[in-house]
Copies of this chain bind each other. A is one copy, B any other.
Amino acid sequence: MAIVLGPNRYGKAETRLVRVHRDGDTHGLVDFNVSVALSGDLAATHLTGDNSHVLPTDSMKNTVYAFAKQHGVAEPETFALLLARHFVETQDHVDSARVTVESFAWDRLGPHSFQRRGDHTRTTVVTVTRETTQVVSGVTGLVLMNTTASEFHGFVKDRYTTLPETTERILATAVDAKWRHLSDTADWDKSFQGALDAMTNAFVNTYSLSLQQTLLSMGTSVLSSRPELAEVRLALPNKHHYLVDLSPFGLANDNEVFIAGDRPYGLIEGTVTRDDVPPASAEWYL
């Protein structure tokens, strides 16, 4: 019996990059949060502090900024692929590079003026090894609500069940979704916007008997409309809105006045996938 080093990785997290592209008087703006994680033959630094296989995380940060100048920055997937490939190709001891990007959208107010949008964050997680390349895109912080067209009944009643059945409730969630691409080339912006629209449309148009049903509808909508995608993972908090009991004040409440709850919340998680696609080459949830 021995105590041994298991799976490990290291990198620089949350390098905040703002890239201005100047086309005469009209400027473009890209705002990213970039994280890099490398794994490979890293036993020595763990065992003895021998860093001869360790590229400093500071150098990863420098690479992000230098690449932003050398190559420009547009789609997060493209930039993440560029970075991940660079680390695998130039570092002999690195077997795998994972680059994660959060992309923050800004609306144009003028030739060089912008307002941060704030309604959601676009994400990507790219994992490159010597044999494989995997691209995952996604979104976080997309908060959606249907004020009706949601029911919940017919559920299990155990001895701890007090929830009344309902044919009318608010359904609200903050979408955290990721989807895996089949290829490492795509029109990434178009693909992202298409997936976002498909997901949002499914939320809007599904008459919901459970948030699970809505989740599957959203995932199916994405895969149906985006042939370039293999699978979708959704984590949907059920942001509860509690109907206020106004009867003590002699008032009815016909689904009009709600408490927006913080905690606890339901959490519905699920994967929707094609049944004939190759498996993921790297874990893409973490």
Contact = CB atoms under 8 A, between A and B. Distances in A.
B260 A161 contact: no
A259 B262 CA distance: 13
Contacts of A205: 110
Nearest to A34: B264
Interface stretch (A49-57, A125-133, A186-194): A49-57
> Which of A157, A263, A275 gathers most chain B CB within 10 Å?
A263
Contact of A1 (B112, B114, B275): B275
Interface in A17-31: 17-22, 27, 29, 31
21 contacts: A1-B274, A1-B276, A3-B219, A4-B272, A5-B272, A7-B270, A8-B212, A10-B212, A14-B263, A16-B260, A18-B258, A31-B260, A35-B267, A37-B267, A45-B213, A57-B266, A61-B264, A66-B249, A69-B246, A109-B144, A113-B203
A78 interface: no
A68 B112 CA distance: 40
A119 B115 contact: yes
A210 interface: yes
A8 B238 CA distance: 15
Contact of A69 (B63, B119, B253, B268): B253
A16 B259 contact: yes
Given A2-B274, A4-B275, A112-B149, A256 B55 contact: no
Nearest to A159: B249
A233 to B, nearest CB: 8
Chain B CB count within 10 A is highest, among A118, A241, A271, for A118
Interface of A: prevailing SS: mixed
Contact of A210 (B49, B148, B203): B49
A54 to B, nearest CB: 5
A248 B45 CA distance: 27
Contacts of A276: 1-2
Contacts of A69: 244, 246, 251-253, 256-257
A99 to B, nearest CB: 13
A46 to B, nearest CB: 4
A17 B257 contact: yes
